[in-house]
Amino acid sequence: MIPLEADYSGIVILILAILFGPPLVLIFLGTLLRKKYKNASKIFYILAVVYLLVGAGLCFGGL
């Protein structure tokens, strides 16, 4: 018998992990490098914000 309802909870979690995972890692790296390398930490913060904007589709119209 073919199930009529599908469970998409796993794919939603995967998409959210792809969307928010790398920016969180970049922010974490930025905070680790903040004291020693200020310019590098700023670049990591900027990359995290750009990844979130592009990943969420806000730069190209999105929803």
Report pLDDT digits (tens) over 11-53: 888 888 888 899 999 999 999 999 999 999 999 999 999 998 8
Given CA atoms 50, 24, 22, 19 in this order, what sign does their dihedral have? negative
- Between 3 and 61, whose confidence is greater? 3
Report if residue 16 sits inside a domain.
Answer: no
Predicted TM-score (pTM) of the model is 0.75
Report if residue 2 sits inside a domain.
Answer: no
pLDDT of 63 above 60: no
Report if residue 7 sits inside a domain.
Answer: no
Report if residue 27 sits inside a domain.
Answer: yes
Whether the Cβ atoms of residue 55 and residue 19 lie closer than 8 Å to each other: yes
Report if residue 9 sits inside a domain.
Answer: no
CA distance 43 to 15: 25
CA distance 42 to 37: 9
